Each structure stands twice: as structure tokens, then as C-alpha cells.
Amino acid sequence: MGYEINWTAPPGDPVLQHPLYQKWSNRPIIQLDASAIKTDIKAALPDRESAAVVSYLCYLLRVLALVS
């Protein structure tokens, strides 16, 4: 299964409790650091458990590209 280009998660989705989601979801977009997000992506394991949070991080990078 793939993930939509515009990221979304239903209420109660386990990804909402993931430490990386918690780390990045509490900052305004203007305060996001693309380099740090890429570092988090590089550190993620390429497995099923990481797929949703990596999709979220990629979404953040796409949003940053739109506003820069």
C-alpha cells in the first residue's frame, strides 16, 4: 500500500504517538528545518513500522518546498 502525497492520519492512528511525529507536529511550518527532517528520515529503518512516519516526514519536506 502506498501513501497519499498529501499526508493524513485518522484519529487514533498509531503514527500520531510516534516520537518523530511528536517532535515535528508541535512546531509552526516556518520553524521546520529541512536538514534535520532529512536526518531523521535517514536514521529511520526501512521497514513496515517506519513507513507511516517516514511518509509524514516526506510530507513535511514537500510543504517546505511549497513555501520556500
Q: Tens digits of per-residue pLDDT, 2-26?
A: 555 678 889 999 999 999 999 999 9
Of 67, 54, 44, which Cα lies nearest the Cα of 21?
A: 54
The model's pTM is 0.89
CA angle 18, 23, 29 (to 5 degrees): 125
Per-residue pLDDT, 1: 45
Side-chain half-sphere exposure of 57, counting CA atoms within 13 A: 23
